[in-house]
Amino acid sequence: MTFLVTGCAGFIGHSVSMALLEAGHRVVGVDSLNAYYSVTLKRLRLAQLLKSPAFEFHQLDLAAPDALMELPGRSEIDQVIHLAAQAGVRHSMDNPFPYVTSNVVGHLSVLEFCRRMPRRPKLIYASSSSVYGVSTQSVLTEDDVAGPPASLYAVTKQADELMSQAYSSLYGIEQIGLRFFTVYGPWGRPDMAYWIFTRKALAGEPLDVFNYGDMERDFTYIDDAVAGVLAVALAERDAIQVGDVHRIYNLGSGRAEPLHNLVDAVASATGRNVDIAHQPHQPGDVMRTCADISRLCADYGYAPKIGLNEGIGRFVDWYMSDEDLAGI
Ligand SMILES: NC(=O)c1ccc[n+]([C@@H]2O[C@H](COP(=O)([O-])OP(=O)(O)OC[C@H]3O[C@@H](n4cnc5c(N)ncnc54)[C@H](O)[C@@H]3O)[C@@H](O)[C@H]2O)c1
């Protein structure tokens, strides 16, 4: 099959594209290569993908409405996996506009592309655990009513789900939204806690732990996240029922880990004694995320395999394998 993968130079997009290529598929990758974090890292990911003759890359901004409509070979695309976005909850406090242009206008561009293509490709898109907002539920199930949004990022992901629902109802576009829960691992994101903790632990600097460490996260190892995306993308018999063309799934590990478990895993994997600098709550952070993953397990055989200690161990091994990564 031929897949269009948006955000292919990003963390999840790169890993999903690699897995699709390894499975023998063709990938048309697009990304704006924006400078939210190291463009060098994005280019390194891209260089890996470009080793495959079944991969082609187009640098474009999804917020330009016609960018996808002018994509060479667009009529051959069987399925779209939309992973491009302006990510990062905290960054949205000081830089709100890219969230609306990339996440809302960009999502609309992808929906319009699917609507206008004669083959009406199936769309799998990234949502986020952030859509649950400030929730009082200990385990988050897909049908939970969202609490108040904790950030503009969360609002844009809620808007994406609503736009997708409207496009499915209006035009019958088959869609699956995946609510990712804190994905981490090799080739990851330098703005996320596991990367910052690792860099600081190795440099002998104290780790800033927000809300005095009183937070829990459902951490999803990248290989498990990729397995979830591919299970949905490559399913032979789709779980979608007639008349139910838009479905949403949690994609997490199904376990909530206290933040201190992440600190301990980083200390253990780096072999360093770490100092913790406790910090107050940061606006935008929610206290706890924990995914109910039973729907994805039942419908697509999803079965996460990698626990936090093993996953952080693999990340730290990767991080330490290339000394240039410390400068990113
Ligand atoms: N990583 C996580 O923990 C996590 C959790 C929840 C949801 N998500 C969602 O999963 C998706 C992938 O996240 P990621 O961690 O790989 O992020 P990432 O920032 O590493 O990748 C996103 C990529 O999209 C590209 N991009 C941004 N705006 C664009 C635009 N307007 N046009 C074209 N390309 C654009 C960026 O250059 C980047 O390479 C995003 O939708 C994100 O919101 C991620």
Mean pLDDT value across residues 113-137: 95
- Out of 153, 194, 249, 319, which one is annotated catalytic? 153
Tokens at 61, concatenated: 């901004």
Ligand 1 neighbour 62 (Cβ under 6 A)? yes
pTM: 0.97
Q: Sign (positive/negative) of CA torsion 190, 195, 198, 201?
A: positive
Taking CA atoms only, the protein residue closest to ligand 1 atom 31 is 102
Write the pLDDT tens digit of every residue in 201-221: 999 999 999 999 999 999 999
Closest atom of ligand 1 relative to the 84 alpha carbon: 24
Domains and their CATH numbers in the chain: 2-256+281-327 (3.40.50.720)
* H helix runs in the chain, sequence order: 11-22, 39-49, 91-94, 97-98, 106-116, 152-171, 193-203, 222-234, 259-270, 294-300, 308-320
The DSSP symbol for 67 reads T
| Residue closest to 218 by CA, chosen among 245, 266, 251, 186 | 251
Dihedral sign computed on CA atoms, order 226, 229, 231, 233:
negative
Å from CA of 10 to ligand 1 middle: 6
Assess whether the C-beta atom of 221 lies below 6 angstroms from ligand 1: no
Q: Is the CB of 193 under 6 A from ligand 1?
A: no
End-to-end CA distance of the chain: 35
Question: Which of 58, 59, 83 to probe ligand 1 with, by most ligand atoms within 8 A of CB?
Answer: 83
Q: How far is the CA of 22 from the centre of ligand 1 (A)?
A: 22
Residue identified by tokens 């890993």 is 15
Taking the centre of ligand 1 as the mean of its atom positions, its distance from the CA of residue 76, in whole angstroms, is 24
Determine the pLDDT at residue 127.
98
Q: Which amino acid is it at 190?
A: P
Q: Quick check: CB of 128 below 6 Å from ligand 1?
A: yes
Give the separation between CA 74 and CA 320, rounded to whole angstroms.
Answer: 39
Q: Which atom of ligand 1 is nearest to the CA of 101?
A: 31
Smallest Cα–Cα separation from 179: which of 92, 252, 238? 252
Q: Express as a percent the part of the chain with pLDDT over 70.
A: 98
Measured CA distances, 56 to 8, 14, 47, 121 (Å): 10, 13, 11, 18
* pLDDT tens-place string over residues 232-290: 999 976 655 555 699 999 999 999 999 999 999 999 999 999 999 999 999 889 999 99
To the nearest 10 degrees (0 to 180), the angle between helices 259-270 and 193-203 is 40
Are the C-beta atoms of 150 and 130 separated by less than 8 Å? yes
What is the four-CA torsion angle of 308, 313, 314, 320, rounded to 10 degrees? 140
37 is a catalytic site residue:
no
**What is the enclosing helix (H) or strand (E) of 146?**
none
- pLDDT value, residue 90: 87
**Are 307 and 275 a contacting pair, CB within 8 Å?**
no
Using CB atoms within 10 A of its CB, is residue 299 exposed (0-12), middle (13-18) or buried (19+)?
middle
13 close to ligand 1 (CB < 6 Angstrom): yes
Pairing outcome for strands 257-258 and 207-209: unpaired
Most ligand 1 atoms within 8 A of CB, residue of 18, 183, 195, 289 to mutate = 183
Residue 239: per-residue pLDDT: 54
**pLDDT level of residue 291 (50, 70, 90 thresholds):** very high
